[in-house]
């Protein structure tokens, strides 16, 4: 490639970036591509999920700051940049009837407010590709669903000069992906591998709960098994949220690499053609004006997109 392409991953809470697509991010960082994690909330309403730390009064007393420190450690392990959008965790209300969301939380913020915040981050970092969750949030947490809504809206608004004019110069990312890291097929493969070895599988219960849910589409499989140990260390950095004896660690990084060496995504928006066997989030992106012109000549790109690519290549040159 003739330029370092940029990836932005938009997540709801600190720890989501390490459990979803982190090996892919680590691979791109290693290959010289800037990667930015956007964390929409501070995880203020989270609980201590690691059984080894439950009952620790010092952690419970200042959990938001502890989670920020954990995020800083995970960021260093992955080698990514990271920014906070600054919204407040919505929590996960449970009960029957379902209690209302707390006032002032992320999921209840007006979409134009949350979208402008992310548009500002996009225009500052200028990513070529963005990843986030699907319309179900990956799972139906209100913050995950809001993260989807905000990201789709910001992807569409960031390149529009008339949208949020005070949030920076327009910048249009070219591809948007949904994370598919917890596919049923992957969990079945992990479960069967453990059963074949005569080991207890933590995935049986997970699969039971998912049996009636449709499997999300996968368009893109990124080979990143070399970075599974990095992913594991980033997960463990979120000590309050990750049980080191839990399902994430039922198989070693080497076992996971042997059974399932990729992370999966579904392309939701793209201004460039997507191959049936795509294996790279940056696949198909023109990297200079000459490439864009060549694609236009073959009809692979429409003229407006080519003009946009040219404009951004020029901007990149001016920005060094």
* Token pair listed for 298: 């073959």
Share of the chain above pLDDT 90, in %: 79
The Cα 266–Cα 69 span in angstroms is 31
Report how far apart, in Å, the C-alpha atoms of 12 and of each of 97, 146, 154, 155 are. Answer: 25, 8, 15, 16
Query: Is 144 one of the annotated binding-site residues?
Result: yes
Average pLDDT score, the chain? 90
How much is the pLDDT for 95? Answer: 85
Kindly list the domain boundaries of the chain, sorted by start residue: 7-182+217-285
**Does the annotation flag 149 for ligand binding?**
no
The verdict on whether residue 318 carries a ligand-binding annotation is: no
Rg (CA), the chain: 20
Helices 22-30 and 228-237 pack at an angle, to 10 degrees, of 120
Give the alpha-carbon dihedral of 2, 227, 135, 149, to 10 degrees. Answer: -60
Quick one: pLDDT at residue 311?
56
Distance, in Å, from the CA atom of 227 to the CA atom of 220, rounded to the nearest integer, reads: 17
pLDDT at 305: 52
Query: What was the pLDDT predicted at 304?
Result: 53
Q: What is the DSSP letter of 277?
A: T
Nearest Cα to Cα of residue 15 among 55, 65, 73, 71: 71
pLDDT > 70: percent of the chain:
88
Q: What CA–CA distances, in Å, run from 167 to 108, 116, 121, 146, 218? A: 22, 7, 8, 20, 33
Average pLDDT of the residues in 101-119: 98
> Residue 4: its pLDDT value, please?
84
Of 4-8, 222-226, 299-303, where does mean pLDDT reach its minimum? 299-303
The whole-number pLDDT of residue 313 equals 44
Determine the pLDDT at residue 200: 92
Distance, in Å, from the CA atom of 54 to the CA atom of 48, rounded to the nearest integer, reads 6
Question: Which of 13-17, 265-269, 296-300 is predicted least confidently?
Answer: 296-300
Average of pLDDT values for 29-43?
97
Check residue 131 and report its DSSP letter: E
Three-state secondary structure call for residue 273: coil
Q: Is the per-residue pLDDT at 191 higher than 60?
A: yes
Q: Does domain 7-182+217-285 have CATH number 3.40.50.10320?
A: yes
Nearby residues of 294 by Cβ (< 8 Å), 6 or more positions away? none
| Lowest-confidence pick of 41-50, 192-201, 282-291, 306-315 | 306-315
């Amino acid at each position: 490639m003739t330029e370092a392409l940029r990836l932005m991953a938009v997540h709801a809470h600190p720890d989501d970036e390490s459990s979803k697509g982190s090996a892919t991010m680590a691979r791109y960082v290693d290959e010289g591509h800037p990667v930015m994690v956007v964390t929409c909330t501070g995880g203020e309403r989270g609980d201590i999920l690691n059984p080894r730390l439950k009952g620790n009064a010092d952690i419970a007393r200042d959990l938001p700051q502890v989670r920020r420190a954990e995020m800083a450690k995970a960021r260093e392990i992955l080698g990514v940049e990271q920014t906070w959008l600054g919204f407040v965790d919505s929590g996960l209300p449970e009960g029957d009837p379902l209690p209302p969301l707390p006032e002032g939380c992320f999921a209840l913020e007006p979409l134009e407010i949350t979208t402008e915040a992310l548009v500002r981050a996009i225009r500052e970092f200028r990513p070529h590709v963005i990843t986030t969750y699907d319309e179900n949030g990956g799972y139906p947490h209100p913050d995950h669903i809001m993260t989807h809504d905000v990201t789709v809206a910001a992807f569409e608004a960031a390149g529009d000069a008339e949208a949020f004019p005070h949030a920076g110069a327009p910048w249009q990312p070219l591809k948007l992906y949904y994370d598919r890291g917890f596919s049923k097929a992957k969990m079945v493969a992990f479960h069967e591998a453990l059963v074949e070895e005569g080991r207890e599988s933590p995935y049986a219960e997970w699969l039971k709960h998912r049996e009636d849910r449709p499997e999300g589409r996968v368009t893109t499989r990124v080979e990143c098994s070399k970075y599974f140990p990095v992913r594991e260390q980033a997960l463990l950095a979120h000590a309050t949220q990750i049980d080191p004896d839990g399902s994430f660690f039922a198989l070693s990084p080497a076992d996971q690499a042997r059974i399932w060496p990729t992370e999966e995504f579904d392309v939701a928006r793209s201004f460039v053609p997507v191959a049936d066997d795509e294996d790279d989030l940056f696949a198909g992106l023109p990297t200079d004006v000459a490439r864009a012109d060549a694609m236009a000549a073959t009809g692979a790109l429409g003229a407006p997109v080519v003009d946009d690519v040219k404009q951004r290549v020029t901007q990149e040159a001016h920005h060094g």
